Structure 1
Amino acid sequence: MEQTDPKINIPFNRPFIIGNELEYIQDAVLSGIISGNGKYTKKCQEFMEKYLPSPHMLLTTSCTDALEMSALICNIQPGDEVILPSFTYVSTANSFALRGAHLVFVEIREDTLNLDERLIEAKITKKTSAIVPVHYAGVACEMDMIMDMAAFYGLTVIEDAAQALAAKYKGRNLGTIGDFGTFSFHETKNIICGEGGAISINNQKYRATADIVWEKGTNKREFSQGDVDKYEWLKLGSSFLPSDILAAFLYAQLENIEKIINRRQQIFERYHRALLPLERKGLLKVPSVPPECEISYHLFYLMLNDSQTRNALLHYLQSQGIMAIFHYIPLHSSPYGSRYGFKRDQLPITVRISERILRLPFYYELSEQDQDLIIDTIETFFINY
């Protein structure tokens, strides 16, 4: 069911304007440069480098592009093995499969729904090149153990922090711990510009290559800075730069990042307080956040006891005009994953989580009245179920 269905009164997501988005877009157009790497692109990159902090940030057209950039920069080759969870968006896998890598799916934890760090080492072989931890719902993977393992085996770590901008692990911002961090500004994320992303280059040895890959495989960035007298094709790359119109919208959002996160925290905590009694009754589980993690308040999910209850609640909410959704179909059991042999490990926890999870409406302008209606509807469902 689409969010445009007239029966839906409370959508799952709703884009929003919080500050100077339209003013900055007009300014970008009037400046005469709306292609990539313009005035607002630089402003966004500088903002994020300071805010996170990041040693080197590049805007991209999506988090998918940021992930694809990371695969190009660290030179993933056909036959290389890349370790990742099956419970993730398809972009995480596509970015490395496009380079000919063999995807090695590892089971997730039941508490955080993140890659189970205790199971990674058993999957490492001589062909392993990279580990891709996905910080689901802005809750950090156990990065200390992952980084130690990567250092011991000489592996690259690429953080998929699409949902984790402003989230932290032991005081460090997610996306700044691994060799690379990738972010999303898709309209469903906390900070938005419709479609957009960024890549943080945290390992200095990759910085020069990153600039070349970002500029279609050329040294155009050096040329624009006056460091060389012409630019040439040096490596494989692509057109990863977003329009400065998107960057203009994004910059207005970044200016209000603390306001946005604070509002989302209020929504998250209101859900949590109201629905925790249902967890205590054994009817469902609410999200779990380890003490060493500061989350981004990206989403709120319920974990139902079985798929039948999840599906019944999903349909009941929709019948009441509330657009809730489930989340990922495990990649290893998807048509493409099954066809190409990725189903070798069945990953029962991943499958079980996928069948039981339900995401609730969550967006900046979600009113307390609408949120209370969602909560009341869930409570009514369990009274009558």
Structure 2
Amino acid sequence: MNKIPFNKSPVVGIEIDYIREAIDSKYLAGDGVFSRKCEATLENMTGTKKALLMPSCTAGLEICAMLVNIQPGDEVILPSFTFVSTANAFVLRGAKVIFVDVEADTMNISPSAIKAAITPRTKAIVVVHYAGVSCKMDEIMGIAATHNLFVIEDAAQAIGNSYKGKALGTIGHLGVFSFHETKNITSGGEGGALLINDETFIERAEIIREKGTNRKLFLRGNVDKYTWVDVGSSFLPSELQAAYLLAQLENKDKILQRRLELWKTYFEKLSILEKSSLVTLPIVPSYSSNNAHIFYLKCKDIEERTALISYLFERGVMAVFHYIPLHTSKCGLELGEFIGEDINTSIESQRLVRLPLFYELTNEEVSYVCENIIKFYDEIKNGRI
């Protein structure tokens, strides 16, 4: 068995044709034909009022912070178990990030922890749909409505997933997708999208994205010249990225179906360990669909996790742990605060192991990974580890 990497970017085969077409068009800057096709596809797929391509999901979060007018002294509530971009986007605007606990079963932000962390300075709640599995959006939107707060969905991992039939990224006021190479769908290594669900944000989002100018209005003929009208930056991906992304979006169902097949194979083969109370497998609640972004298992503790990762590595399998809670990091301690009790975040994150899962992974490779995980626990039981 050759080495099994943790990830390979998906390739469906027509990306190069679209890239060549973009090159032949002699138009490679952003917002060309391929960008517009991608945005229309995302709008039709999700039902969002407006989709705008981004150079990254991080950039999308930064625009979200600007759109909800984050100011120095504002507080933004988010899970500590997330990628640093979720916090950075708001810290850059002067906010204090308020970290709260996650729920053990899904690793998603706890609604009760959100409620306990709200103060008069709270401006927004950022939810992260971990592994693509939905947060409890009815409860969270209800809390936000009661306290007049914005909700931003970090749906970086959640393309193709839904909450009670509604696309993730379209339930809060704003949402973001990632098209990084580790995600189910990629735009050639980096990329993202902003989903605008409150139409009052659309015009300003277009201005911020175009360096603070009203160029979009000019191109549509709404104004006779364009000028600098707001703060902004360059948030447009190139047509080459959009061309790659369109090929992926057109094959989204095929990619997601294959990933789900692999996810289910992992679950079936490793269930024997869960039945023996040796590991915990992922839970997908009835209110959420499953886009098979991540397959993980949870070991007994961090020592067992470290041993398992090493065991698999020695046998040619790259398995990894995930986020180190932000509230324990240098910047997290300086720029934020954990409110409430850390019941699950630290303990559960130390148990979690992510297994290889990508479009080109074979059934034989999944079987090999599972066989070695089962062998690992057999060796523990027999005292050889």
Q: Shorter-chain TM-score category?
A: over 0.9
**Distance (Å, rounded) in 1 between the aligned partners of 2:154 and 2:13:** 28
Give how far 1:346 is off: 6.0
1:4 match: none
- The equivalent residue for 1:18 is 12
Q: How far 1:354 sits from its partner (Å)?
A: 1.6
2:317 pairs with one of 299, 322, 345: 322
Offset at 1:19? 3.4
Query: What is residue 383 of structure 2 aligned with on the other side?
Result: none
Which letter does structure 1 place at the counterpart of 2:256? I
Find the residue that maps to 1:182 and give its secondary structure: strand
Match of 2:63 in 1: 69
Change beyond 3 A, Cα 1:340–1:76 = closer
Q: Secondary structure of the residue that 2:127 maps to in structure 1?
A: coil
Please state if 1:219 is matched with 2:210. Answer: no
Distance 2:193 2:252 in 1: 16
How much does 1:341 deviate? 5.4
Select which of 352, 356, 367 maps to 1:361.
356
In the alignment, the residues of structure 2 paired with residue 378 and residue 202 of structure 1 have an alpha-carbon distance, to the nearest angstrom, of 43
Contact 2:96/2:335, CA 8 A, preserved across alignment:
no
CA offset at residue 277 of structure 1? 1.1
Q: Secondary structure at the match of 2:76?
A: strand
- 8 Å contact kept, 1:112–1:136: yes
3-state DSSP class of the match of 1:104?
Answer: strand
**8 Å CA contact retained: 1:333, 1:343:** no
Cα RMSD of the aligned pairs, angstroms, is 1.2
Distance in structure 1 (CA, Å) of the matches to 2:69 and 2:55: 21
Contact 2:170 2:195 in 1 (8 A): yes
Corresponding residue of 1:94:
88
Q: Distance in 2 between matches of 1:373 and 1:18?
A: 25
- Selected match of 1:281 from 276, 280, 287: 276
What is the identity, as a one-letter code, of the residue corresponding to 1:238?
A: S
Residues 117, 8 of structure 1: alpha-carbon distance in 2 compared, 3 angstrom cutoff: farther
Identity of aligned residues (%): 48
- Give 1:208-287 correspondences, 5 Å limit: 208-287=203-282
Residues in 1 aligned to 2:292 and 2:336: alpha-carbon distance in whole angstroms: 35
- In structure 2, what is the equivalent of residue 3 of structure 1? none
Corresponding position of 2:162: 168
The answer for the alignment partner of 1:159 in structure 2 is 153
1:106–1:286 CA distance, 2 compared to 1 (3 A):
same
- Going from structure 1 to structure 2, the CA distance change for 1:313 and 1:101 (only over 3 Å counts) comes to same
1:314-353 correspondence runs (5 A)? 314-340=309-335, 342=337, 347-353=342-348
- In the superposition, the TM-score normalised over structure 2's length comes to 0.96
Following the alignment from structure 1 to structure 2, what is the Cα–Cα distance between the partners of residues 261 and 312?
31
User: Does 2:183 match 1:189?
Assistant: yes
Q: Is 1:57–1:198's contact at 8 Å kept on the other side of the alignment?
A: yes
- Runs (4 or more) in structure 1 with deviation over 3 Å come to 343-346
Match of 2:29 among 30, 35, 41: 35
Aligned amino acid, residue 74 of structure 2? D
Moved more, 358-367 or 335-344: 335-344
Residue 380 (str. 1) matches residue 375 (str. 2): yes
CA contact (8 A) 1:214 1:240 kept: yes
1:330 to 1:225, Cα distance in 2 relative to 1, 3 A: same
User: Structure 2 unaligned runs (5+)?
Assistant: 381-385
Indicate whether 1:128 and 2:122 are aligned. yes
TM-score by length of 1: 0.96
1:114 and 1:134 in contact (8 A); partners too: yes
